[in-house]
Amino acid sequence: MYTLVVDHPDFIVIDKSANVSFHSENDTPGLVYTLQQDLNNSELYPLHRLDKVTSGLLLFGKNKSFAQTLGDAFANHQVQKLYLALSTRKPNKKQGWIKGDMQRSRRSSWMLTPSMNNPAITQFSSLSLAPGLRAFWLYPQTGKTHQLRVALRSIGAPILGDTLYGGKANEADRTYLHATALGFSWQGQVFQFKRWPSQGQHFQQYSWADTLAPDTYPWQQWLLTASQV
């Protein structure tokens, strides 16, 4: 369900497995409940979420002071998050920005619209891994529900295995989206963590530390220097 990667007096960072629900569903314990039981701490404060299908780094506060400060940092877009995704489709652009308002669609999904009243904003870069397979580094500037999944669909490259947003059924063994790196400041100290994906046939085929595109995006040096945990 998860791997505990950092246990700080004020917070924990975990690596969530794919296909694990954040909250309990029916009789199946969710991630938050399981963490509270495993750590014997009923006052863990989740600071952000990952979709059920998404794996990767998550931050939880262990006290109200940390939770309030980092909650404000998330709200003010002062927390760095970097994701890795795969797609078998060719995007209509290979790098840049994806912006637009998010609007409810059918089947509990979302769509990106041309309006910019309260837009979802994502910066991205991509590179070809093999014929018919492309990697995307996604650097969200906002934190909307399903933002990255909708963003890649909007440029014609739905995430591999993401059937809700245009991925083909039975095409993959998971949805290939992973929260790779996380960075924030607390009490004057900068914390930066990265965790490469370990689940999924296609993720396991590559040494991700060697696939960084030679670009000048702001996450480049950060990802290279962040602590591997």
Give the active site residues. Answer: 51
Give the whole-angstrom CA distance, residue 148 versus residue 157.
11
The first and second tokens of residue 189, run together, are: 């100290």
How far is Cα of residue 78 from the mean position of the Cα atoms in its chain? 16
Q: What is the DSSP letter of 146?
A: T
Give the whole-angstrom CA distance, residue 87 versus residue 174.
12
Output helix, strand, coil percentages for the chain, rounded to the nearest 5. Answer: 20, 35, 45
Give the whole-angstrom CA distance, residue 35 versus residue 205.
30
Give the whole-angstrom CA distance, residue 2 versus residue 202.
20
Phi, psi of 198 (to 5 degrees): -125, -10
